[in-house]
């Protein structure tokens, strides 16, 4: 085990063990349980938000939430499409009116032109 990989790791573990044993713990009276509890709660919360759980209930809840978000997005898309369609129909109506007026004006110009000749 005395190679450049395992040997170095074993030496590091020995050094760490000596360092831990050299710490004087006799002067510590009370353990700050409140701080430790808060730290544990924060760690659990962070772990649950970062590491995906494989709990079927969690996965089902996540799938439901994603489905609701998707459904909301589809509803919004439908509303926007309906609004766009109404505006397109208004544009079509205005275009038809403009076309009809243009045809009337063309007819009037033709009449005036033939009257002048």
Cα dihedral 97, 98, 99, 105 in deg (nearest 10): 110
The pLDDT averaged over each successive group of 10 residues in the chain (117 residues) is 75 84 66 75 77 73 88 90 93 94 92 87
In angstroms, rounded to a whole number, what is the distance separating the alpha carbons of residues 61 and 67? 10
Q: What is the pTM of this model?
A: 0.41
């Amino acid at each position: 085990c005395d190679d450049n990989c395992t040997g170095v790791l074993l030496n590091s573990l020995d050094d760490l063990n000596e360092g831990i044993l050299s710490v004087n713990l006799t002067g510590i009276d009370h353990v700050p349980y409140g701080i430790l509890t808060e730290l544990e709660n924060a760690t659990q919360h962070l772990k649950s938000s970062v590491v995906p759980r494989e709990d079927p209930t969690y996965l089902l809840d996540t799938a439901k939430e994603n489905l609701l978000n998707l459904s909301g997005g589809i509803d919004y898309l439908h509303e926007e499409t309906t609004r766009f369609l109404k505006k397109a129909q208004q544009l079509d109506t205005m275009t038809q009116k403009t076309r009809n007026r243009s045809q009337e004006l063309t007819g009037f110009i033709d009449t005036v032109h033939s009257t002048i000749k």
